[in-house]
Structure 1
Amino acid sequence: MKNRRLERFRRMAQQYHRNKRGDQFDDGVLVRHVYDGIDPDALSWWDDLAFIQGDRRVNVAWQHPRHVFQESIVAAALEATEPFRKEEEGGLFGSSSKIYKKVGRSRKKVRYYTHEPSPDRQVWLEAVRREEARLSQEAEFAVQPSIKVEWLNWCRFVSIVAPVEVRNVPELKKLAALVRLLLKGETTLKHEFPGYCYGRKQWKDEGLADQAVRTVSHRVLMN
Structure 2
Amino acid sequence: MREYHRTHQWRLSEGGLFIPHAYSNVGPESLSYWDDVGFILNGRRIIVRWQHPRHVYADAIATMAWKEAGDDPHEDWVRESGTKNYKMVGKSARRKKQSGYTIGSAPEAQLQYYTKLQQIEDRMTREGIALEVRPSWKWTRLRWAMGVELVAPLEVRNEKELAQVACLARGLILQKTTLGQEFPGFVYDRASWLNEQAALSSCSDGH
TM over 0.5: yes
Moved over 6 A (4+): 208-211
Q: In the alignment, residue 154 of structure 1 is paired with which amino acid?
A: W
Give the superposed CA RMSD: 2.2
1:126 Cα deviation after fit: 0.7
Structure 1 runs not aligned, ≥5 long: 1-12, 212-223
Report matched runs for 1:11-160 at 5 Å: 13-21=1-9, 23-83=11-71, 85=72, 88-89=73-74, 92-93=77-78, 95-105=81-91, 106=93, 107-115=95-103, 116-138=105-127, 139-160=129-150
Q: Is the CA contact 1:147–1:158 (under 8 Å) kept in the aligned structure 2? A: yes
Task: Quote the Cα distance in structure 1 between the aligned partners of 2:118 and 2:199.
Answer: 13
Which range is displaced more, 104-113 or 145-154? 104-113
Question: Aligned partners of 2:167 and 2:137: how far apart in 1?
Answer: 15
SS in 2 for 1:41: coil
The more displaced of 141-150 and 68-77 is: 141-150
Cα separation, partners in 2 of 1:50 and 1:194, compared to 1, 3 Å:
same
Question: Aligned residue for 1:10?
Answer: none
Confirm whether residue 192 of structure 1 aligns to residue 182 of structure 2.
yes
> CA, structure 1 residues 207+22, in 2 after alignment: closer, same or farther (shift >3 Å)?
closer
Q: What's the secondary structure of 1:157's corresponding residue?
A: strand
Three-state SS of the structure 2 residue aligned to 1:62 is strand
Match of 2:171 among 159, 181, 184: 181
Q: Which moved more, 1:39-48 or 1:115-124?
A: 115-124
What TM-score does the superposition give when structure 2 sets the normalisation length? 0.86
Deviations 1:69-121 (A, max 9, x none): 111011111111224x2xx2388556223333342353433223232211111
Task: Confirm or deny: 8 A CA contact 1:46 1:67 kept in the other structure.
Answer: yes
Once structures 1 and 2 are overlaid, which stretch shifts more, 43-52 or 96-105? 96-105
Partner of 1:218: none
After superposition, what is the alpha-carbon deviation per residue over 1:151-186, rounded to whole angstroms, capped at 9, x for unaligned? 333211100011101111101111101111111111
TM-score (norm 1): 0.80
Q: Matched residues in 2 for 1:195 and 1:59: separation?
A: 27
Shift of 1:208: 6.4
SS of the counterpart of 1:160? Answer: strand
Q: Distance in 2 between matches of 1:180 and 1:76?
A: 34
Name the aligned partner's letter for residue 89 of structure 1: H
